[in-house]
Amino acid sequence: MKRFILFAAAMGIGVTAATAEPVSPMQVVFTDGAVEESLTGVAGDPVAGRDVFANRKLGNCLACHMNEDWSEQSFHGEVGPPMDGVAERWSTAELRGIVANSKEMFPNTIMPSFYRNAGYTRTLKKFEGKTILSAQQVEDVVAYLQTLTYE
Ligand code: HEC
């Protein structure tokens, strides 16, 4: 815990032991579709995020979004825009917002909302895990998306 707080301080994130729990889905604050605050206060892992992106049981993003990184894969989708250069089109906060709840950015999109649970105003412990992705998996996939630049 001490190391985590030091890390958070180094990152300039105002995290204290009291707020180290992930932000619950209903408490995520959207500003024009973007989410400024990390959901966990822990930096995303792009390698884990790449797995979330392709894993059918997790993000399954690849089913709709193609990008150069996956050009060898035969099952990639073209329902959504290609992810190449996505880090240059959107800020980190916007990417986090799109992944957490795409409807905030694209009101009628068919893209699933990955960090929402059905209308509970208060997430009780026993309802946790009802989102498609965990808070950290959202951070991880956002970290992966941030690696997708045009050279
Ligand atoms: C069922 C198909 C589908 C899935 C699954 C899906 N998306 Fe999307 N996504 C879309 C569509 C369609 C859009 C275009 C927005 C719209 O509807 O206007 C989009 C838009 C986006 C955008 C904005 C892209 C841009 O260039 O403007 C990002 C970023 C994104 N998706 C990331 C993801 C990630 C990450 C995942 C997995 C965690 C994911 N998507 C899963 C369909 C999907």
Distance 45 CA to ligand 1 centre (A): 20
Which of 140, 134, 148 lies closest to 83, judged by CA?
A: 148
- Note whether residue 10 is domain-resident: no
Distance 116 CA to ligand 1 centre (A): 15
**Which atom of ligand 1 is nearest the CA belonging to 109?**
17
Q: Looking up tokens 């009780």, which residue turns up?
A: 124
Pocket test for ligand 1, best of 111, 136, 138, 150 (most atoms within 8 A of CB): 111
Mean pLDDT over each residue of the chain, to the nearest integer: 84
- Note whether residue 34 is domain-resident: yes
**What is the CATH number for 78?**
1.10.760.10
- Note whether residue 7 is domain-resident: no
- In whole angstroms, what is the distance from residue 11 CA to residue 8 CA? 5
pLDDT of 37 higher than 60 = yes
With a CB cutoff of 8 Å and minimum separation 6, the contacts of 145 are 49, 83, 86, 87, 95, 99
pLDDT of residue 147: 96
pLDDT of residue 141: 98
Q: Looking up tokens 């815990």, which residue turns up?
A: 1
Please give the backbone phi and psi of residue 88, each rounded to the nearest 5 degrees, phi first: -95, -15
pLDDT tens by residue, 46-66: 999 999 999 999 999 999 998
pLDDT of residue 12: 47
pLDDT of residue 39: 97
Please give the residue that has the higher pLDDT: either 14 or 103: 103
Distance 36 CA to ligand 1 centre (A): 19
Domain count, the chain: 1
Query: Could you give the percent of the chain with pLDDT greater than 90?
Result: 66
Range of the domain at 64: 22-145
Report the range of poorest mean pLDDT among 31-45, 65-79, 111-125: 111-125
Helix (H) and strand (E) counts in the chain: 5, 0
Distance 33 CA to ligand 1 centre (A): 13
pLDDT tens by residue, 89-113: 999 999 999 999 999 999 999 999 9
pLDDT tens by residue, 111-124: 999 999 865 455 55
